[in-house]
Amino acid sequence: MDRFQHYIDGVFEDGTASFDSLDPATAAPWAVMPMAGAGDVDRAVLAAHRAFTSGAWPALTASARGKLLMRLADLVQAAAPRLAALETRDTGKIIRETSAQIAYVAEYYRYYAGLADKIEGAHLPIDKPDMEVWLRREPVGVVAAIVPWNSQLFLSAVKIGPALAAGCTLVVKASEDGPAPLLEFARLVHEAGFPPGVVNIVTGGPEAGRALTTHRRVAHIAFTGGPDTARHIVRASAENLAKTSLELGGKSPFIVFEDADLDSAANAQVSGIFAATGQSCVAGSRLLVQASVKEAFLGRLKAKAEAVAIGAPDDMATEVGPLCTLRQRDRIADLIARSLTAGAQLVTGGVVPQGAGYYFPPTILDCSNAPDAPCLREEFFGPVLSVVTFDTEEDALHLANDTEFGLASGVFTRSLTRAHRMIRGIRAGIVWVNTYRAVSPIAPFGGHGLSGHGREGGLAAALDYTTVKTVWLRTSDDPIPDPFVMR
C-alpha cells in the first residue's frame, strides 16, 4: 500500500503510530497514514514558533512572502490532477469535482500572494500636538489550522493563504479520515522553498487535537468542522487563550418563490444538496418552496434525483459517489428513520444500496406535515433534502431563520424588491440569489450561531491573522512635564 508521512520542520517523517486508510468506494485499505501523538504535535508547534521568531521567515519582506505564495500557487495548479486523484481515492469525492476545485485552489494562493504586501497600518490624527501615533499590523504568531476531510485542500487554502500572507507560521492538522491530499500537499510547500517550520502538516485523532489546541505557543486556532468538536476546541483554548475562528456546519434554507425560474432553481438545488454527495457545510439541505408551485418543483427535483449517475468516484461520468465513512452513512440512515417516525414522507431514495462502498442515494423527504422532524434541525452532511412549504414571504423568512445555524442561504425569485427584502431579513453569513454554491477568494464566507464565527476568504481573513500594535512617538525636545499625570 501507499505510505504517507508528516511534514515537521522541513522534514518528512513517520508518526508515533500509523493506521490504514480505507477507500470509500470499496471499503478496502489502500494506504498507510501516520498518526500524530502529543510529542509529534509539540515538535511541530515548537518548529513553527522557532520559524516565527527567528531565522529566514521573519526577515522576509511582505513582497518576498508573496512571491513564495505565488510559487506555491503555480505548483498547486501543476499538481492538481495528482492531488485530485488522491482526494478522490481517499475521500470518495468524485473526480470531476476534485479536479475542478483543486485547480481553482491555486487562485486562492495567488490572491493572498498579491495581498501579502497590501496589509497596511494607519496614521492616527491624535489630539496631542507633540505626538505622532501610528498603527502597525503584525502577524499574530503560530496558527493551528484544523481541517476536515471534505474539500480539505480548499479549506486549508483559506487558512494557509491568509496566515502566510500576514507573516504567521502554521501547524496544519488534517483529519484522520482521508488525509492523503493534504499530506501530499506538504511536498509542494517543501518544493516552493518555504523555510523549515513555517508550514507543518500532521494528521491524527483526539490526542493530536488536544495537544495542538492547548499548546502554549499557539496564538490562533482556525477550525473547520462540526459544532460538537468546536465546543471542545473553545474549552481547550482556555489553556492558551488563543484566538479562535470557527467555520462550522449549517442547515441552510433554499427558498423558491412561485415566480422563480423553476428549471434553474431545480438545477441549483441539485448542486446545493447532491453535489459532493451532500458533504458540504453550505449544503442547501432545507428546501422552502411556495405552496403554489410545490408539486411542479418537487416533480422536477424527484426526476433529477432519480436520474443522478451514482458510481465509482474516479469515473468522470459519475455525479454522486460514496460517502467518506461508514459511520457517516449509518448516521444518515438513522436520522432518516427517526424523521420518518416523526411524520416525514419519503419522496425518493432513503435506502442503503447493496454492495461494497459507502454509497447512499439522493434522498428527498417531504416534511410539510412534520414540522418537528429531526431532519429539519440536524445536519445530515449527506445527500438528503428536507422539504417544507410556505404561503407568504413572511412565512418563508420565519422558516429560514428557524434554525440555530446561520451559514448559507439561497433565494430564487424574479422580483428584485423581494430579493432585497429577503437579503436583509435572512440571518446567515452568505445569501445566494438565483444561484448557489458559488465561491471566490475575493469573497469572505462564514456564519454565526452554531455555524461559527469569523470569516475566511477576502481581505478580512488576512487581517484576522494580524494583531494591531500602537506606536507613540513624542516629537517635543522639552522635558516631560509632571510624570505623575497621564498625558
Buried b (16+ CB within 10 A) or exposed e, 434-454: eebbebebeebbbbebbbbbb
Beta-bridged to residue 473, according to DSSP, are 132
Spatial CB neighbours of 154, under 8 Å, sequence gap ≥ 6: 101, 102, 104, 105, 108
- Residue whose C-alpha cell reads 504568531 in the numeric block: 141
User: How far apart are alpha carbons 104 and 77 in whole angstroms?
Assistant: 8
User: How far apart are alpha carbons 106 and 70 in whole angstroms?
Assistant: 9
Residues with catalytic roles: 247
User: How far apart are alpha carbons 180 and 13 in whole angstroms?
Assistant: 14
Are 117 and 66 spatial neighbours (Cβ–Cβ below 8 Å)? yes
Spatial CB neighbours of 179, under 8 Å, sequence gap ≥ 6: 4, 21, 33, 90, 149, 152, 203
User: How far apart are alpha carbons 385 and 277 in whole angstroms?
Assistant: 11
Q: How far is CA 209 from the centre of its chain?
A: 17
Angle between helices 227-236 and 206-213 (to 10 degrees): 40
User: How far apart are alpha carbons 105 and 454 in whole angstroms?
Assistant: 20
